[in-house]
Amino acid sequence: QVQLVESGGGLVQPGGSLRLSCAASGRILSIHAMGWYRQAPGKQRELVATISSGGRTNDADSVKGRFTISSNSAWNTVYLQMNGLKPEDTAVYYCSAVSRAVYWGQGTQVTVSS
């Protein structure tokens, strides 16, 4: 089992920045990839960015050049640095971890509004 806890969401003005964190616990060594997804009201959950245990990253086109995913050396925390935020980035952001199963955090709200 893997447990994920997100933090760092909030309200920010357009053009601002936020840093999300996802703390993993449990069978961390079994995780081979982690990622961030988001879901806006009335829309399907979509990929934001992923990172493998080897450090390979993948970003959605909509966030390239603005968002950066990273992890700590212990591979128990994943971050999402979000710069140049736009109103369309408003969503609940979920952390995920992939081992033999896919695990999800509870989500953290990000609202971009003036």
Per-residue pLDDT tens digits for 35-84: 999 999 999 999 999 999 999 999 999 999 999 999 998 899 999 999 99
- Round the average pLDDT of the chain to a whole number and report it: 96
DSSP annotation string for 75-97: SSEEEEEE-S--GGG-EEEEEEE
Residue 73: per-residue pLDDT: 87
Mean pLDDT of 1-25: 97
**pLDDT tens column, 86-103:** 999 999 999 999 999 999
In this structure, the chain runs to a length of 114
